[in-house]
Amino acid sequence: MTSFFEGIAPIQYEGPDSTNPMAFRHYNPDEMVMGKRMEDHLRFAVAYWHSFAWEGQDPFGGQTFERPWHPQDSMERAKLKADIAFEMFDILNAPFFCWHDADVRPEQGNFADNLATLNEITDYIGDKMQTSKTKLLWGTANMFSHRRWMSGASTNPDPDVFAFAAATVKSCMDATHKLGGQNYVLWGGREGYETLLNTDLSVELDHMGRFLAMVVDYKHKIGFKGAILVEPKPQEPSKHQYDYDAATCIGFLRKYGLENEVKLNLEQGHAILAGHSFEHEIAVATAEGMLGSIDMNRNDYQSGWDTDQFPNNTPEVALAYYHILKAGGFDTGGTNFDAKLRRQSLDPKDLIAAHVGGMDICARGLKAAAAMIEDGGLEGALSARYADWQKPDAQSMLNSDLGAIAQKVLDQEINPDPKSGRQEILENYVNRFV
Ligand code: XUL
Ligand code: CO
């Protein structure tokens, strides 16, 4: 045991009336929700990058956190960081965690040394997992921080960068597989452009499609059973990113024949940056059977950049889980807290409290979503609204043509009578549960 979290005991469920800030008031892992344990519904994961790798920088200021594993440039301190990470997983009783290669090992500046240190640290992490309940939800490659990626990874104009990216993803897929990871994620922060003046968009998209096809082939080759997930985000760090939103990703996957092989990892903050709501992104993905996993966080509604805050808005979270539950819940996916502290929140206790609050909000949202589903009010209103489409005449119209339909309108003097959409009534209904 290190002394980093000294004085902080494992977090317990104390129920909604508890006033203890270091206790769960809603997250009760064994509580049954719609016939399944809460822990098995939510499948929480801690994100290594925000909790352990990020040092508190923002565009105007440097490091604010001073941690015992800083500076993050040696394997010795990478191991200390892993020790402390697993202490936090135990305190939170976290079922999963997620990493990028660059979070767990120091950057070495060349592929061979990056590979050696990644293998060494993931062996070390693997040993820790033997005695921990915390499993790997997903691994991924950080192909956006180092300067080699500045013009893209798989979409880079330089084929050598494409090669470095392929080698890097292979190493991260191997490590994810070795640790029993349940998914492998690709987020393309530099797969996009700063200006169209220097960008051949069509070549770049073809390269990205081909790269992803190689990832899928490699998954099958090594017998990795987890899902391959891409993560939409419209911009930041690039001015425009090709994986703009769920709908764009789905179109891209279809174009390259990957729609049955790759699913989506959707993030609340990315939805907001794309001008959508989180439930919109989830509904788009579930409509196509392509929801894989979620990155849970919250974006500031004024800032216009990716603030990655811990979630704290029950109504929003409830609607997200409503759509997830309606689609049958997670399979290999889960709820990864892609969320970081504010840079003034210096204390180890802040790190724990942030996760406790986030887990509680999600549990509360899940319970509200389940209650709405069990009550059936929204589903009933939806069926009633589309009920006329169940009539044979309406169905046969879908196999008809414009001429025949026009004749029908004339013959039957069809003149639609507008009906209320009942939005406020439905909003009031939702408010009863949240
Ligand atoms: C960036 C982001 C990433 C991905 C993994 O906005 O969300 O952390 O989740 O690369
Ligand atoms: Co994310």
pLDDT of 302? 87
Ligand 2 centroid – CA 167 distance (Å): 22
Q: CB-based contacts of 389: which residues, under 8 Å, 6+ apart?
A: 395
pLDDT band at 206 (very low <50, low <70, confident <90, very high): very high
Tell me the DSSP string of 109-155: SSHHHHHHHHHHHHHHHHHHHHT-S-EEEEEE---SSSGGGTT-STT
Tell me the mean pLDDT in the region 286-303.
95
Contact between residue 107 and residue 146 where contact means Cβ atoms under 8 Å apart: yes
**Residue 304 pLDDT > 90:** no
pLDDT at 336: 99
- 100 has catalytic annotation: yes
CATH 3.20.20.150 fits 32-375, yes or no: yes
Q: Is 113 a catalytic residue?
A: no
Mutate which of 143, 145, 233, 281 for ligand 1 pocket (most atoms within 8 A of beta carbon): 233
pLDDT bracket for residue 303 (50, 70, 90): confident
Which residue is closest in CA terms to ligand 1's atom 3?
187
Instruction: Please say whether the beta carbons of 204 and 212 come within 8 A.
Output: no
> Which residue puts its alpha carbon closest to atom 10 of ligand 1?
187
**Mean pLDDT within 19-37:** 98
Per-residue pLDDT for 283 more than 90? yes
**Per-residue CA distances from 148 to 170, 237, 242 (Å):** 17, 15, 19
State how far the Cα of 309 lies from the Cα of 327, in Å rounded to an integer: 26
> Does the predicted TM-score (pTM) go above 0.85?
yes
d(CA 323, CA 71) in angstroms, rounded, equals: 42
Q: What is the pLDDT of residue 288?
A: 97
Task: State residue 311's pLDDT score.
Answer: 98
Catalytic residue among 100, 177, 270, 355: 100
Distance 109 CA to ligand 1 centre (A): 22
- Lookup: tokens for 226: 């987890």
CA of 295 relative to ligand 1 center, distance in Å: 8
Q: Is 295 in the pocket of ligand 1 (CB under 6 A)?
A: yes
Number of the ligand 1 atom closest to the C-alpha atom of 100? 10
Percent of the chain with pLDDT over 90: 99
pLDDT, average across residues 243-258: 98
Average pLDDT over the chain reads 98
Looking at the chain, the number of H-run helices and the number of E-run strands are 16, 12
Residue of the CA atom closest to atom 5 of ligand 1: 187
Is the CB of 306 inside a 6 Å radius of any atom of ligand 1? yes
**Domain residue limits, the chain:** 32-375, 379-431
Summarize the confidence of residues 402-415 as an average pLDDT. 98
What pLDDT sits at residue 145? 98
pLDDT in tens, 149-192: 999 999 999 999 999 999 999 999 999 999 999 999 999 999 99
256 in ligand 1 pocket by Cβ < 6 Å? no
**Is 90 exceeded by the pLDDT of residue 219?**
yes
Q: Check pocket membership of 140 for ligand 1, CB cut-off 6 A.
A: yes
201 Cβ contact partners less than 8 Å away, ≥ 6 residues apart: 193
108-161 pLDDT, tens digit per residue, is 999 999 999 999 999 999 999 999 999 999 999 999 999 999 999 999 999 999
Q: Report whether pLDDT(301) > 90.
A: no
How far apart, in Å, are the Cα atoms of 168 and each of 126, 142, 229, 311, 354? 19, 9, 17, 32, 32
- C-beta 297 within 6 A of ligand 1: no
Pairing verdict, β 192-193 and 240-241: antiparallel
Helix 377-385 / helix 348-375 crossing angle, nearest 10 deg = 50
